[in-house]
């Protein structure tokens, strides 16, 4: 039987959401703010539950990433991964990750954050696999601003993890901090809610 530890990233392995910070580092604060202001009606719709967060994310991605070279964003991702490693990781969850490594468990990140920085970060941390948002590019390597397959949040986290597992029997630990992780944690034999606002505090492995 496979034994697998599955981690959400933003607010779980990291101290806070880092996606906005990365977008600002790629596009600059003025471009990012113009994108936010340009889609303020969508943002209001999200606040009142009339529009999904996925729609707002898709709109911002088009404004921030479309037309940029994929290679440029990948390089920014490598740089950003180094910053995350130095300053953005939760100490307690990094220790939990190390426990799983010592126990010989496979480790996976399943996140609505971007592959651009999660893949290089995972390589440094010894994480075996990453399921995250991938930015689409055209034949010449220019980003379109679209997400390949859409956002990785809520039920889609569970769907993509199940597809990766296939028919293999597995004992699963899962770590998450928000409602977007509920379906993922529901798959686990050992679900752990992380952080102050979580339904229950994490227990020792």
Kindly report the pTM of this predicted structure. 0.91
pLDDT one digit per residue (tens) for the chain, 205 residues = 999 999 999 999 999 999 999 999 999 999 999 998 988 777 777 666 777 888 899 999 999 999 999 999 999 999 999 999 999 999 999 999 999 999 999 999 999 999 999 999 999 999 999 999 999 999 999 999 999 999 999 999 999 999 999 999 999 999 999 888 999 999 999 999 997 544 443 333 3
Bridge partners, residue 129, by sequence: 108
pLDDT digits over 26-38, tens only? Answer: 999 999 999 989 8
In order of their start, the domains of the chain are 2-193 (3.40.50.1000)
């Amino acid at each position: 039987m496979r034994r697998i530890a599955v981690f959400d990233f933003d607010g779980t392995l990291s101290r806070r959401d880092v996606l906005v910070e990365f977008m600002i580092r790629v596009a600059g604060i003025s471009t990012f703010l113009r994108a936010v202001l340009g889609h303020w009606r969508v943002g209001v719709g999200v606040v009142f539950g009339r529009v999904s967060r996925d729609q707002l994310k898709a709109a911002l991605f088009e404004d921030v990433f479309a037309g940029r070279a994929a290679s440029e964003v990948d390089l920014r991702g490598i740089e950003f991964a180094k910053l995350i490693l130095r300053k953005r990781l939760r100490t307690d969850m990094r220790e939990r990750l190390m426990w799983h490594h010592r126990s010989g468990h496979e480790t996976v990140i399943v996140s609505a954050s971007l592959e651009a920085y999660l893949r290089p970060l995972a390589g440094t941390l010894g994480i075996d696999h990453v399921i995250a948002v991938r930015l689409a590019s055209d034949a010449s390597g220019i980003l379109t601003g679209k997400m390949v397959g859409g956002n990785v949040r809520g039920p889609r986290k569970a769907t993509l993890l199940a597809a990766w597992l296939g028919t293999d029997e597995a004992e699963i630990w899962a770590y998450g901090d928000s409602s977007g992780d509920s379906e993922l944690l529901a798959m686990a034999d050992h679900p752990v809610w992380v952080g102050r606002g979580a339904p229950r505090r994490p227990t020792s492995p």
